[in-house]
Structure 1
Amino acid sequence: MNKKSRVDWFDVVNYSLIVLCCMAMIYPIINVLAVSLSSYSAYIENPMRIWPKHINFASYQEIFSKPLLWSSYLNTIIVTAAGVVIGTFLYIITAYPLSKGHLKGRKVFMIFVVFTMLFNGGIIPNFYLMRAFGLVDTLAALVLPLLFSGFSLILMKTFMENIPEELEEAAKIDGASEPYLLFRIVVPLSKPIIATLCLFSAVAYWNNYFNAVLYIRSAENWPLMLFLKEMISNVTSNKLNNNGNLAELGHLQVTPETLQYATIMIVMVPILSIYPFVQKYFVKGIMLGSVKG
């Protein structure tokens, strides 16, 4: 009885902590959505609200009317898609040979991979490199810096090392070539880690802000993060120009805060929508890609 009581209390504490962590993560999203749909007077009344008051969609209509939003969306989708597809292909063709113990120089290659995780050329050398290749103010400058990660390569290599060699040996007996083994046997079995790395890459490209500030000059090449930054800057400037007249702001349908929160929501929702589709692969890919059994 005492043992059962201890187990029950342990479960209660665990579930309580899990619920608190979930609430801490979900609350900011709910708050942003609620404020973006509320009037300014409702925002002043309770900035931490979780339920919208005086619901209106004027802020979303204002943002959707801006052509720059759609060009920024297109640029971000192009950069994210290109980065995920090309990067995943590079991980696959690099991790497969490195997962073979008989590869000559395997340890040397892995030393170079780990070296890239510890040391970086720095901001100024990277900028000069991009400028030397003529990639400044192009979408390629947003794709290339995040294209390859030593950490992701190690995850995929470790996952492939756990694939039974008997499967490949049986295919080789039937006359299968190395490309056939890779793309018809190894890749289908590596779906969990591929989905996990695709999610990592997609989030990194979608949220990439610093490289955009560093390399992008013209507005037509802005990604979503630069558009968000510009919207927040304009909102802040408009608020300062209004001299803090809360009464005037309270009668407006589109106010600085609601416009700012609506922009954050529009930028955030697409990447959040991807996670449920790869969730079933996520834990399995990380666990099998981190520890060799």
Structure 2
Amino acid sequence: MSEQALPLPASGRWRRPLPGFGLGLGIGLTWLGLIVLLPLAALILRSGGLGWAGWARAISDSRVIASLKVSFGASLIAAIAALLFGALIAWVLVRYRFPGRRLMDALVDLPFALPTAVAGITLAAIYDENGWIGQLVKPFGIQLVNNFTGIVIALIFVGLPFAVRTVQPVLEALGREQEEAAISLGASRLTTLRRVILPELLPALLTGFSLAFARALGEFGSVIFISGNLPWKTEIAPMLITIRLEEDGGVPAAIVLATLLLLMSFACLLAINAASTLFAHGNRRDG
């Protein structure tokens, strides 16, 4: 059956139900500027007004350096763990059908909906030495709260959904045709994973890692209940920002620390996005 041409309006031009590109772009940029860019710009300008002396004085503080080490170290470990477990969960959800699959898929988004303070209290209760998991590892001398391990656990909890949701749609679009072709040509499972699947997943893996890392770097609510907040030991940078704001004369140090976390998160996202773009262009040239 041949397609029938739809009648054009009297003007001879189609009228889209949504605003055109110019108006839509203007509205989008306006809201983006008011909600995101303007507050961030105000923070950067305020920190720039402190001068190099103010920055050096705030960054050279031993407590600030210790909190940055804790935040960056725990965020890096948590992002790697979230990426590994998230990719595995995405693989199971996409490639297998089993009872409770829909429930498992819905539970992945639970950290998005759960208030971070509630998550922190729940994790602390479970992993405490009297909790369900804490009492199982207590006889082995393992402590999971009020230390660096507790911080990593909380950050994995909040970062895991980012890894799953970035890898899952790529796996769904990938299908099984390429794997079956590689197997039919005699490739082993390891070779198929390394030469067929991973190259397609690498941009999504990088994106999931960067999102999990940036989210963990700024996490506050779920960490303070499980870390113990010990200065120079388990105190994260966002917690120190709150402490500095409550101190007399501590606002400049809080502004510098907040700006530093902002710049680090933005640099991480920018670097990962650039790497993903370069990798995608390389794949297209190879193809």
Alignment TM-score > 0.5, same fold: yes
Return the match for 1:71 from 66, 69, 72: 66
User: Equivalent residue for 2:216?
Assistant: 205
Output the amino acid matched with 2:71.
Answer: T
Return the letter of the residue paired with 1:57: W
Does 1:222 pair with 2:235?
yes
Residues 1:68 and 1:3: Cα distance change in structure 2 (over 3 Å):
farther
Contact 1:32 1:265 in 2 (8 A): yes
Residue 130 (structure 1) aligns with: 127
C-alpha displacement at 1:150, in angstroms?
Answer: 5.1
Q: Percent identity over the alignment?
A: 12
Match among 21, 25, 29 for residue 15 of structure 1 = 25
Distance 1:33 1:145, change over 3 A: closer
The structure 2 residue matched to 1:88, chosen from 69, 83, 87, is 83
Please say if 1:111 is aligned against 2:103.
yes
Contact 1:228 1:267 in 2 (8 A): no
1:118 shift after superposition: 5.0
Distance change (3 Å), C-alpha of 1:99 and 1:167: same
Cross-structure match for 2:245: 232
Is 1:30 aligned with 2:41? yes
Gapped regions of structure 2 (runs ≥ 5) = 1-10, 135-142, 281-287
Contact 1:36 1:258 (8 Å CA) reproduced: yes
Residues 230, 184 of structure 1: CA spacing in aligned structure 2 closer, same or farther, 3 A cutoff? farther
Distance 1:176 1:95, change over 3 A: farther
TM-score, scaled relative to structure 2: 0.72
Alpha-carbon distance change, 31 to 157 in structure 1, aligned in 2, over 3 angstroms: closer
Normalization by structure 1: what TM-score?
Answer: 0.71
- How far the C-alpha of 1:232 sits from its partner, in A, is 1.4
Asked if 1 retains the 8 angstrom alpha-carbon contact of 2:214 and 2:268, the reply is: no
**1:172-191 aligned within 5 A:** 172-191=183-202
Counterpart position of 1:49: none
Q: Alpha-carbon deviations, 1:62-108, whole Å to 9, x = none?
A: 212201111111111211111111111112233224322xx352x42
Q: CA RMSD in A?
A: 3.2
**More relative contact order in 1 or in 2 (CA 8 Å, sep 6+)?**
1
Give 1:161 deviation, angstroms.
2.0
Amino acid corresponding to residue 217 of structure 2 in structure 1: W
Cα distance in structure 2, aligned partners of 1:266 and 1:225: 11
- Secondary structure of the corresponding residue to residue 100 of structure 2: helix
Aligned mate of 2:256, from 240, 256, 262: 262
Is the CA contact 1:38–1:258 (under 8 Å) kept in the aligned structure 2? Answer: no
Report the CA distance between 1:3 and its aligned residue: 7.1
Q: Secondary structure at the match of 1:175?
A: coil
Determine which of 160, 168, 176 is the counterpart of 1:165.
Answer: 176
- Between the two proteins, the alignment pairs up a number of residues equal to 244
For each residue in 1:10-46, what CA deviation from the matched residue of structure 2 results, as whole angstroms up to 9, or x when unmatched? 333223213313422222222112222337xxxxxxx
1:262 alignment partner AA: V
Whole-Å separation in 1 of the counterparts to 2:251 and 2:151: 29
Q: 1:150 to 1:85 in 2, by over 3 A?
A: closer
Q: Secondary structure at the match of 1:231?
A: helix
- Contact between 2:82 and 2:156, CA under 8 Å: does it hold in 1? yes
Of 189, 200, 206, the residue aligned with 1:195 is 206
